[in-house]
Structure 1
Amino acid sequence: MINRDEVLRYLGIREPEQADPQTLAEVEALSSELEAKLVGRWIYNPFPVEKKTAEGIWLQGLSEPLLGKDIAKLLAPCDTVYLMACTLGPQAERLITLKSHLSPTAGLIADACASALTEAWCDKCEAEIRSRAGDLTFRYSPGYGDLSLTIQKAILEALVAHKRIGVSLSDSYLLTPRKSVVAILGVLPKVLGEETTPSAKPHRCGLESCDLCPLKETCTRRR
């Protein structure tokens, strides 16, 4: 489930061939251990779009607007937006701390593995949403582009995330437990989605080409 290449990227190793055998072995061992011991939890809800401008998007049921030109461009064709939260829970932090006490290197690799595992569970959540809603924009999180981290508070409140999966926000806008993610996905209209059936999507965002994306200049997932 954990993408080992993704773990290496979190460790600053861009190509697997650049990693030494010991690092690869530790990544494999810790990935397998985390996959066996940690289970992600997620929640999501759809929110109708109430208002769109070039500066942001207003959703019914969300106490604050999603402000930012990037998110406004991304969600411009959407009439419904899904908000989601996913977490590995406090067990992940305990396991990372334990590994750190055994070895700083093991702790670092365990942290990277947990980050990759969180993303893998987010992918599962996204797939479930897609099965219900159809084609979606790519997963966009607060802190990306010009969307402020402060919007996480309103999103968590709208999802009742603390009660449902135990995710909350610190005064410095860090998610707790640490291996947690808040994300936004827009539902693409059928007219835009007809040419991007699941079997024809090379990109996670559902678009055939980066040239079609308003975030093509800043996307870290661009191929």
Structure 2
Amino acid sequence: MNNFFESINKNAILKYLGYRYGEVPGEIMDEIDRALAIVEKVSRPKFVYRVFDKEDPTLKDILLGQDINDMDKDSFKVILLAVTLGQEIEMEVRRLSFTDLSLSVVTDAAASAAVEALADNVAENLHEDFDGFYFTDMFSPGYGDLPIGIQDKFLTLINAKKELGLTTTREGIMVPRKSISALVGVSQNKQTHRHRGCESCRLFMDCEFRRRGEYCGYQK
């Protein structure tokens, strides 16, 4: 795995912090640099994945809804993956909340951007195993009409509970929170990639902007 920390997008951190437009104060950018150093030092990044034939019957409880089936209609393989930064970064964010609340908030946002960068890094490395083929976008439980309720079965299927220590709440939220699960289709044909708007955002189910009827304006 490459050093994915180098690919963390600071604009993503600003998005999580609620900055949408205009000049960002220099002290905020300095705080982001401090937070990124903490995330890199404290995180314990891990990942696991498993490759399935598209028609594998074990996927019948995973490939639910029209959206994921539309995206994977041209795929002959489906990759299920999960990544996590571990619980240590969450413990550090909690500790900072008692000593430096501002830095705690920024570190939490930086960790969210970091786990996205980790997921992207793992997906990019998987391309090497399928040289000459094409990948769909990543699609996570909770996106579109893919139920977040499949999360527990998803993690069990790829042994992420044992290998990564992931669990889920009753609502399907992963613990540790700085974790991502996703599906990727593998096709022999070039794929059209989706517009990464609200419906395909990892924050879609818990987005403060959406709750207020607003749009963050962010595109990766």
* TM-score interval, smaller chain: 0.7 to 0.9
Q: CA deviation at 1:170?
A: 1.6
Matched, 1:119 2:140: no
Alignment of 1:112-151 (within 5 A): 112-133=109-130, 134-151=133-150
Correspondence for 2:46: 41
Deviating more after overlay: 150-159 vs 98-107:
98-107
Q: How does 1:37-116 map to 2 (within 5 A)?
A: 37-50=42-55, 59-62=56-59, 64-116=61-113
- Structure 2 counterpart of 1:137, which letter? T
2:77, 2:186 within 8 Å by CA — same for their partners in 1? yes
Identity across aligned pairs (percent)?
A: 28
Amino acid of the residue matched to residue 70 of structure 1?
D
- By how many angstroms is 1:178 displaced? 1.0
The answer to whether the 8 A contact 1:63-1:154 is kept is no
* Residue 214 (structure 1) shift: 8.9
* Residue of structure 2 equivalent to 1:158: 157
RMSD of aligned Cα (Å): 2.2
Q: Is the 8 A contact 1:66 1:151 kept in 2?
A: no
2:143–2:199 Cα contact (<8 Å) kept: no
1:110 CA displacement: 0.9
Asked if the contact 2:62–2:154 (Cα under 8 Å) also holds between the matched residues in 1, the reply is: no
1:163-194 per-position Cα deviation (integer Å, ceiling 9, x unaligned)? 111111122211011111110000021xx23x
Q: How far off is 1:127 after superposition?
A: 1.3
Shift of 1:217: 9.1
Q: TM-score, normalised to structure 2's length?
A: 0.81
My pick for the range that moved more, 130-139 or 77-86, is 130-139
Counterpart position of 1:200: none
Indicate if the aligned counterparts of 2:47 and 2:84 stay in contact, CA closer than 8 A. Answer: yes
Residue 170 of structure 2 aligns with which residue? 171
Aligned twin of 1:55: none
The answer to whether the 8 Å contact 1:78/1:186 transfers is: yes
Amino acid in structure 1 at the alignment position of 2:17: L
Task: Please tell me whether residue 14 in structure 1 is matched to residue 11 in structure 2.
Answer: no
Q: State the 1:25 CA deviation.
A: 0.9
* Shift in Å, 1:8: 0.5
Secondary structure (helix, strand or coil) at the match of 2:124 reads helix
- Structure 2 partner of 1:197: none
Distance, in Å, in 2 between the alignment partners of 1:112 and 1:30 is 9
Amino acid in structure 1 at the alignment position of 2:70: K
Residue of structure 1 in register with 2:37 after alignment: 32
Structure 2 unaligned blocks of 5 or more: 202-217
| Alpha-carbon contact 1:73-1:214 (below 8 Å) kept | no
Change (3 A) 1:105 1:216: closer
SS of structure 2 residue aligned to 1:186? strand
Write the distance in 1 (CA, Å) between the matches of 2:36 and 2:195: 35
Higher relative contact order (CA 8 A, sep 6+): 2
- For 1:183-222, list aligned pairs within 5 A: 183-189=182-188, 192-193=189-190, 207=192, 213=194, 218-220=199-201
**Pair 1:68–1:94, CA change in 2 (3 A):** same
Provide the rounded CA distance (Å) in 2 between the counterparts of 1:163 and 1:216: 33
